[in-house]
Structure 1
């Protein structure tokens, strides 16, 4: 991965993990887990991004985006999620395929083309995995929903969105967990085992790992 691409992906990840908040600090280990890199790689990149004025680092607490870093992240996220909508809705790719291919298109996208793409798609507000698309003025108001891990046994819920992660999207396609479907949390298996959930329409039960459930947002 080229360094320029790597930097923008780090900035995008920080924005996503804060839900758009300018105050929320993101720990290095959370960034490392999301990007599947080592904590030392995160530390090295945070040093570079601090030198370029794109993040502020508070040792032992985490990082926040500066206004410069936030704008870079918003431009990337806007392009990426509009490409995802196009690939998913118009070319009938799966959510994971749309995400993977959008990664190859978003970094060099011209702003005029992205605005025209938005018009062509009838101004979508969310991507295929439920996350908010910044508008052309780069307004970004991500709503906050509970993680699947945060709800109590017996609770009924609707799937709202998933974190942008290729392996997670592939996993959810494999177990057939889709946006807007309605479920009930039946139980948590012992010894930090998976969560058992039941589809309220089909009554089909599946197991979701604790790790995956932490990146599934419900309402």
Structure 2
């Protein structure tokens, strides 16, 4: 993402990184890594969001969403993931293409449209990349999951979901990993090298940075 990341993208990121936990404090570095922006950009934006009453910033500890900030994030996440689902399941778009177009449409979709779209799609619970879709009442309690990087060497894992990031979604499509696929962590290459995964027939390599944003079933 570029330095021109919107306020709502920051709110969405804080909610996603918190796993829906209102008390979980998210650091500036976590947000910067997730959005691929500089820490100074994060500090500047959080100051604006705090002034607007949408976040609470505790110096040296992190940031949490206020109730207005959480509602804004949930509304945008709900809209985005339903539009993604429509693109992937009804239009035949790749997950990355569906995500890209949802980014351009989700801010302008009103509640009537989003609710009608949810009904048309038969009330899906998860987005095409495995993330929970808030319902019409903005209920949102995602499962607590580990990241791929947290898996142990030799452990066999099933991929549950990918975080909402265009570059990551394009990356997993390029290396050929899909939701629901099962892999064994064969090894980690030295000097912070990639994870080597095998399914018994094929081997692939996943960078450790990408592994921070790929979630596995517990």
TM over 0.5: yes
Secondary structure of the 2:86 match is: helix
In 1, distance between residues paired with 2:108 and 2:197? 41
Once the two structures are TM-superposed, the CA of residue 5 in structure 1 deviates from its matched residue by 7.4
TM-score, structure 2 length as denominator? 0.96
Q: CA 1:99–1:112 in 2, change beyond 3 Å: closer, same or farther?
A: same
Deviations 1:86-122 (A, max 9, x none): 0000011101111010000000111011000000000
In 1, distance between residues paired with 2:116 and 2:5? 24
In 2, distance between residues paired with 1:166 and 1:199? 25
Residue 215 (structure 1) aligned with residue 213 (structure 2): yes
In 2, distance between residues paired with 1:193 and 1:186? 13
Residue 111 (structure 1) aligned with residue 118 (structure 2): no
Secondary structure of the 1:8 match is: helix
- Structure 2 unaligned residues grouped into runs of 5+: none
Residue 133 (structure 1) aligned with residue 150 (structure 2): no
Q: State the match for 2:122 in structure 1.
A: 122
Q: State the match for 1:75 in structure 2.
A: 75
TM-score, structure 1 length as denominator? 0.96
Deviations 1:108-154 (A, max 9, x none): 11101100000000000000100000000000011011111111111
Kept in 2: contact 1:196–1:205 (CA 8 A): yes
In 1, distance between residues paired with 2:118 and 2:127? 12
- Structure 1 unaligned residues grouped into runs of 5+: none
In 2, distance between residues paired with 1:183 and 1:33? 26
Q: Where do 1:1-219 residues align within 5 Å?
A: 6-200=6-200, 203-219=201-217
In 1, distance between residues paired with 2:146 and 2:37? 26
In 2, distance between residues paired with 1:146 and 1:27? 18
Secondary structure of the 2:107 match is: coil
In 1, distance between residues paired with 2:104 and 2:202? 36
Secondary structure of the 1:105 match is: helix
Aligned residues: 215
In 1, distance between residues paired with 2:152 and 2:129? 24
Runs (4+) off by over 6 Å: none
Once the two structures are TM-superposed, the CA of residue 199 in structure 1 deviates from its matched residue by 1.9
In 2, distance between residues paired with 1:58 and 1:100? 33
